[in-house]
């Protein structure tokens, strides 16, 4: 239950205060259209008007991908020790961690566990954007490496669902080191011939894109996901050129070979199961 976190979408209460049925709407972040919450939920948080794939929380993602009650979480209690004793204009990092824990009910920006997908046993790591923007610090890196370690020991595939603003600045160079650390562990997967499926969701940027999210044997993206390293404005200012339409979106990245396949949310589980079956054979 600790995975439940505050939804990031806007919830609008009905104007009809007299009604017993307090109808609640959700506003799409992309097109601004309003959708009944029950339709929103039954449509897996995909906007029926524009097809925008809204972020899922970890619980929803696990429910979407895994066979019922098959997910067993590991390494739940690893917490950052604030190695740099970092303080910014908003106060100490440690206090920010505590406040975020209290607000989200999570301890870190990733949840890892063993699960089954259509009866295929996998290690699954799901990033949690509600926890400091899904940023990758020492704990995220460590938990991913432990998932890989379990994959290596049990000879099972690994799936990482990325949703992240990149490396966590509060842990400085130690966050950046996680890029090398996770990449080195994934190289072990590769040398053992074990499959790694990277599922990239909206938004995934910075050091996460630049490390494990890009290292999948198969890289799957959800439609319309923002996937990049630096933001478009920074790139435009650096190269002094106008960027093409749709730059850093799944569809653009598929056309340019960065992403292998775009899969709509409703088809994700069956498509991943197909890939797992392929690797099994």
Residue from 50, 95, 184, 261 that binds Zn ion (CB under 5 A)?
Answer: 50
Nearer to Zn ion, 14 or 49 (CB): 49
CB of 34 to Zn ion, least distance (A): 9
- Quick count: other Cβ atoms within 10 Å of Cβ 192? 10
What DSSP character marks residue 247?
Answer: T
CB of 205 to Zn ion, least distance (A): 21
CB of 27 to Zn ion, least distance (A): 9
Sign of the torsion angle spanned by Cα atoms 242, 247, 253, 254: negative
Nearer to Zn ion, 56 or 126 (CB): 56
Residue from 52, 71, 196, 212 that binds Zn ion (CB under 5 A)?
Answer: 52
C-beta separation of 218 from 275 below 8 A: yes
C-beta separation of 140 from 108 below 8 A: yes
Closest by alpha carbon to 136, among 161, 168, 179, 106? 168
Q: Does 30 bind Zn ion (CB under 5 A)?
A: yes
Nearer to Zn ion, 75 or 222 (CB): 222
Residue from 5, 28, 128, 209 that binds Zn ion (CB under 5 A)?
Answer: 28
- The window from 43-51, 74-82, 125-133, 213-221 that contacts Zn ion (CB under 5 A) reads 43-51
- The window from 24-32, 79-87, 126-134, 270-278 that contacts Zn ion (CB under 5 A) reads 24-32
Closest by alpha carbon to 202, among 39, 29, 40, 66? 29
Burial string for 94-127 (b: 16+ CB within 10 Å, else e) reads: bebbeebeeebebbbbbbbbbbbbeebbbbbbbb
Nearer to Zn ion, 4 or 9 (CB): 9
Residue from 49, 98, 267, 270 that binds Zn ion (CB under 5 A)?
Answer: 49
Count, residues near Zn ion per rule CB under 5 A? 8
CB of 202 to Zn ion, least distance (A): 13
Sheet order of strands, 10-13 included: 10-13, 24-27, 34-36
Between CA 232 and CA 229 the distance in angstroms is 9
- The window from 47-55, 69-77, 208-216, 272-280 that contacts Zn ion (CB under 5 A) reads 47-55
CB of 50 to Zn ion, least distance (A): 3
CB of 11 to Zn ion, least distance (A): 15
Q: Does 47 bind Zn ion (CB under 5 A)?
A: yes
Q: Which residues contact 187 (CB under 8 A, 6 or more apart)?
A: none
CB of 251 to Zn ion, least distance (A): 16
Between CA 203 and CA 222 the distance in angstroms is 10
Question: Interface residues with Zn ion (CB under 5 A)?
Answer: 28, 30-31, 33, 47, 49-50, 52
């Amino acid at each position: 239950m600790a995975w439940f976190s505050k939804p990031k979408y806007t919830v609008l209460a009905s104007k009809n205060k007299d009604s017993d049925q307090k109808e609640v709407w959700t506003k799409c972040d992309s097109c601004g259209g309003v959708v009944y919450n029950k339709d929103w939920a039954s449509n897996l948080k995909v906007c029926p008007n524009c097809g925008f794939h809204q972020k899922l929380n970890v619980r929803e993602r696990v429910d979407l991908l895994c066979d019922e009650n098959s997910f067993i979480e590991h390494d739940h209690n690893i917490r950052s020790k604030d190695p740099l004793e970092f303080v910014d204009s908003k106060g100490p990092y440690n206090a920010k961690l505590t406040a975020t824990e209290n607000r989200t009910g999570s301890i870190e920006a990733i949840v890892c566990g063993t699960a089954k997908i259509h009866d295929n046993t996998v290690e699954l790591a799901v990033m949690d954007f509600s926890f400091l923007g899904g940023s990758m610090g020492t704990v995220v890196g460590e938990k991913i490496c432990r998932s890989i370690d379990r994959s290596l020991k049990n000879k099972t595939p690994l799936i990482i669902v990325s949703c992240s603003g990149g490396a966590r600045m509060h842990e400085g160079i130690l966050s950046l080191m996680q890029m090398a650390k996770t990449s080195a562990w994934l190289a072990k997967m590769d040398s053992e011939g074990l499959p790694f499926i990277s599922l990239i969701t909206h938004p995934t940027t910075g050091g996460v894109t630049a490390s494990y999210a890009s290292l999948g044997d198969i890289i799957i993206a959800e439609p319309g996901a923002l996937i990049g390293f630096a933001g478009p404005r920074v790139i435009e200012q650096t190269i002094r050129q106008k960027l093409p339409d749709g730059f850093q979106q799944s569809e653009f990245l598929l056309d340019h070979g960065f992403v292998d396949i775009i899969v709509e949310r409703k088809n994700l589980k069956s498509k991943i199961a197909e890939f797992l079956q392929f690797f099994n054979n």
